[in-house]
Structure 1
Amino acid sequence: MAPEYAERASLLPGAVVWTRAAVLPAPSAAPVLPDGCMDLLWTEGRLLVAGPDTHAFRPGPGLAGPWAGVRFYPGTAPALLGVPAHELRDRRVDLADLRPAAEVRRLTGRIDAAPDPVAALEDLALRLAADAGPADPLLRAVVASLAAGRSVTATAERVALGERQLHRRSLSAFGYGPKTLARILRLQRALALARSGVPFADTAARTGFADQAHLARDVRELTGLPLTDLVRS
């Protein structure tokens, strides 16, 4: 039996290709947690873009799937799609809202008819990236710095930007300011540690939370679920 969810590294540097079987509508569906990324999504007859989330997203009845997606490295999707990330924050939009409808119909039909639609979707992402040109190395430096637990001030100094400039660049690239991005990246680090078996108190200490209670509050605020439930899932 095929797994409900599977992913692999993409041929596009830093990206991930994933597939998900058809899911039940909310509230039964597993939530999609904020991760600082944007995704190009395909289900038969549709191409969509998932904007950057600030909280957990639950698929509604019209988004049951099955799905395939390319999850872009944080900050890289806006250049590929030609739209600032903050315009898509907490949204799922049809690709035809961002690019010419006739082009999107042709692309959707090509992926629908492909022997391997997942590979065809990845090929589309690769072509979008080739058209956009090289990714901005400054954005990767911002992600790396915040993911390492550095403060916004230290990150701004590291990339030679003022904090206001960093905030403005972050809105366009990530969909929100660097403080929110840092919080989301910290959430992902904490979940990875907790799911690997690290005790919650140690997880909190190793990922920069004041204590285990602070970790639990932040997880619930960002995901709507208790940490214990997320670790079990």
Structure 2
Amino acid sequence: MYVERASRLPGAVVWSRTIGDPTAARVHPVLPDGCMDLLWNEGRLLVAGPDTRAYVPGSEPARWAGLRFAPGTAPTYLGVPAHELRDRRVDLTDLWPAATVRRLRTRIDTASDPATALEELALRRAAETPPPDPLLRHLVAALDTGRPVAATADELGLGARQLHRRSLAAFGYGPKTLARVLRLQRALALARAGVPFAETAARSGYADQAHLARDVKEFAGIPLGELLGRAG
């Protein structure tokens, strides 16, 4: 079972999932979304870096809790460039002092709700670090409306190389990949709402349904219909 809610940390989402319940629906792949997550898994603290392809959770019984940071914000809070964690799940002890992580892990392990305890950890961390670069928020907002990368860079007053460098640090990949990921998420939201695939493609900024199908296959590894469990 998977549940989520908005976090008190701006733009973030708090979630929890139980895997391996024989009465639960099949485990769905985690698709690229421009985000990074702070994770708790039965005594472990990990960080999920930005994905460029689908990540399929294991089927073994497990309890998970997580805090999904808004796109581009996690590197500021965690103190590591996003591109160093691209397509990786790493133990928090690889990023922070082991003694600090042990204290945090004990606190979360003994909490009545590990997801809320993770949220408290993130809120404390946010209070101790500078705020994320607001320019990156504007970048995400512009690209999520379908604005071209070059036009967005001009509007933000950034050269192509500078924008690419800052995007790698904040999102784990360049602005063109970020734009594709955001477009994919727009399309999935429409398709999950029951919008026909051809209309979904047009409204999301794809050239046509075949273009959408190619992007889904590249990022998810399976066709859109199979991903959503329905026909087009």
TM-score bracket for the superposition, by shorter chain length: over 0.9
* TM-score where L is the length of structure 1: 0.93
Report the Cα offset of residue 119 of structure 1. Answer: 1.2
Structure 2 residue identity aligned to 1:126: L
1:76 aligns with 2:73: yes
From 212, 226, 231, the equivalent of 1:229 is 226
Distance in structure 1 (CA, Å) of the matches to 2:165 and 2:17? 34
Cα shift at 1:128:
1.2
Task: Report the equivalent of 1:41.
Answer: 39
Q: Secondary structure at the match of 2:47?
A: strand
Shift of 1:232: 2.5
Q: Which amino acid aligns with 2:46?
A: L
Q: Which residue of 1 aligns with 2:134?
A: 137
Determine helix, strand or coil for the equivalent of 1:67. strand
- The residue that corresponds to 2:173 in the other structure is 176
Distance 1:23 1:178 in 2: 36
Aligned to 1:52: 50
Q: In 1, distance between residues paired with 2:11 and 2:92?
A: 22
Report the CA distance between 1:87 and its aligned residue. 0.1
Provide the TM-score with structure 2 as the length reference.
Answer: 0.94
Q: CA RMSD in A?
A: 1.4
Distance 1:125 1:23, change over 3 A: farther
Q: CA deviation at 1:14?
A: 0.2
Structure 1 residue 13 and structure 2 residue 7: aligned? no
Query: How many angstroms apart in 2 are the aligned matches of 1:85 and 1:195?
Result: 29
Letter of the 1:33 counterpart: L
- Assess, with a 3 A threshold, how the Cα gap between structure 1 residues 88 and 64 changes in structure 2: closer, same or farther: farther
Superposed structure 1 runs of 4+ greater than 6 Å apart:
none
Aligned equivalents of 2:115, 2:181: Cα separation in 1: 28
- Quick one: which amino acid aligns to residue 38 of structure 1? M
| CA distance in structure 2 between the partners assigned to 1:141 and 1:64 by the alignment | 40
Spell out the pairing of 1:56-205 with structure 2 (5 A cutoff): 56-60=54-58, 65-205=62-202
Q: Deviations over 1:37-61 (max 9, x none)?
A: 0000001210000000000001247
Q: Is the 8 A contact 2:47 2:89 kept in 1?
A: yes
**Separation in structure 2 between the aligned mates of residue 231 and residue 192 of structure 1, nearest angstrom:** 11
Cα shift readout 1:152-183 (whole Å, capped 9, x = no counterpart): 10110121101111000000000000000000
Greater CA deviation, 52-61 or 184-193?
A: 52-61
Tell me the alpha carbon deviations over residues 86-117 of structure 1, each in whole angstroms, 9 at most, x when there is no partner.
Answer: 00000000000000001101100011011222
Q: Which residue of 2 aligns with 1:30?
A: 28
**CA displacement at 1:64 relative to structure 2:** 5.2
Q: How many residues are treated as equivalent by the alignment?
A: 226
Task: Tell me which residue corresponds to 1:206.
Answer: 203
- Distance, in Å, in 1 between the alignment partners of 2:107 and 2:85 is 25
What secondary structure is seen at the aligned counterpart in 2 of 1:21? strand
How much has 1:208 moved relative to structure 2? 1.1
SS in 1 for 2:166: helix
